[in-house]
Structure 1
Amino acid sequence: MSDAPVKKFEGKDIDISFDSRLCIGVGECGKSAGELFVGGRDPWCAPDVVDKAEAREIVERCPSGALTYEDKSGEPEAAPAANEILVAYNGPYYLHGELEIEGAPKDMPGVRHRAALCRCGASKNKPFCDNSHVQAQFQDAGAVGEPGPGLAGKDGLLSVRVIPDGPLKLQGNVTIATGSGRKAWQGTGTALCRCGASKNKPFCDGSHREAGFKSD
């Protein structure tokens, strides 16, 4: 069995790829109706058992970018109409939008539109989440108390700078949703905590310095 992190499943109209470096087991694929993904089957992904439109829609449910597709008609995955970040209950930041994540490898195409980024400080795959928040017993419900200054528009690039030993610096239109799903903060730039120590989560308050947070 290949140890390559990316596995491609080829179909007649669409190829689907799975990147094990990004998967955090949310299960949007395996729990989808139909037989595109069936655990225990070899291969577990069969692109030709559903129509192409359904395959695209299911792949786009993957919140971490671990699943991607290559439509053989040449039509790429479209960027969402708006950039949004969900602050997951006791979990990561789920980003959905037109993303540019600093340092993301070129062979991780899924994170151009969907990504799960660590906010507990414990991931061994920073800036991406690797489920270390579970073992670290990270606790934060994902509440957001501030409304933000507002958006300059609804779309456009969301740049995510990964500050060494510091926060995630956002630049671009973005809406931040709480762990309960409420759309809360809206603005064009902010810094998000990724050390897990901020007293003003999800925003950075400089606690990474006192905590001695190291991003490597």
Structure 2
Amino acid sequence: MSGKKVHFTYPGKTIDVTWDSRLCIHVAECGRAAGELFVDGRDPWCQPDVTKVAQVREIVERCPSGALSYVDKTGGPVEMPAVDNTVVVACNGPLFFRGNLHIEGLVKRSPGVRFRAALCRCGASKNKPFCDNSHEAVGFKDYGAVGETGSPQVAGDGELRIMPTHNGPLVCKGHLRIYTAAGRAAWFGSTVALCRCGASKNKPFCDGSHVAAGFRSD
């Protein structure tokens, strides 16, 4: 995407909203929000001044990919991590992380990915480790069930380090809850390797299938 603009800032009198097109997977949490902060087909599509500052912050923080972020020029609250570090295993889709996230080894990204990120688990994304909706084109199928329970400890706060290993899984270190696509809190623990090649027989966990599948992380 060299030379192509990827960051777009929509200034308001009291709050600015920024959109990182590299991270957006068009879940439409913003576009379907009540009100006129985001209106498809309008130029510009985001107009912060038509919505109260608190509502702007709340809608932006709904974005599950971290593509949206804001700067509150009133000196109001800044975005804070969710109380728990969590990941939702989406049906036929990515891993949706929320919490105090540190995704290791990345160039500077949108500030939103410190709190919210959609990471690829089909193996086909051209923007690894982030999802780019390639799971739809390749017909990735996994309904987001989780069979293991992990340790009995309840996940808590603190930083979650997410390490996309070379040609291998996402290694997560730090308290974490894994939720099924149906919303069940299924796994609790502090260290886990999650599949991102799409081939594991024990999804969402890595079982070493990336080796036989010839998965490439670059």
**1:180 & 1:18 partners in 2: Cα distance?**
29
Deviations 1:61-81 (A, max 9, x none): 000000000111343201110
Distance 1:62 1:192, change over 3 A: same
Letter in 1 for 2:114: R
Letter in 1 for 2:147: G
* 2:63 counterpart SS class: coil
**2:5 & 2:18 partners in 1: Cα distance?**
12
Q: 1:43: which partner in 2?
A: 44
1:141 to 122, 140, 143: 143
Letter in 1 for 2:46: C
**1:213 & 1:108 partners in 2: Cα distance?**
27
Q: 1:199: which partner in 2?
A: 201
Deviates more, 1:57-66 or 1:142-151: 142-151
**1:133 & 1:9 partners in 2: Cα distance?**
30
Measured on the aligned residues, the alpha-carbon RMSD in Å equals 1.2
Q: 1:157: which partner in 2?
A: 159
Percent identity over paired residues: 60
Kept in 1: contact 2:155–2:177 (CA 8 A): no
* Residues 70-149 of structure 1 aligned to structure 2 (within 5 Å): 70-74=71-75, 75-149=77-151
Kept in 1: contact 2:101–2:161 (CA 8 A): yes
**2:186 & 2:153 partners in 1: Cα distance?**
12
Deviates more, 1:100-109 or 1:34-43: 100-109
Q: Quote how far apart the aligned CAs of 1:17 are.
A: 0.2
**2:206 & 2:161 partners in 1: Cα distance?**
17
Runs of 4+ in structure 1 off by over 2 angstroms are 150-153
**Matched residue pairs, number?**
215
Kept in 2: contact 1:152–1:188 (CA 8 A): no
Matched, 1:26 2:27: yes
**1:172 & 1:12 partners in 2: Cα distance?**
39
TM-score by length of 2: 0.96
Q: Quote how far apart the aligned CAs of 1:152 are.
A: 6.2
Kept in 1: contact 2:7–2:18 (CA 8 A): yes
1:181 to 183, 195, 199: 183
**1:189 & 1:150 partners in 2: Cα distance?**
13
Q: Quote how far apart the aligned CAs of 1:109 are.
A: 1.1
* 2:183 counterpart SS class: coil
Distance 1:3 1:211, change over 3 A: closer
Kept in 2: contact 1:150–1:188 (CA 8 A): no
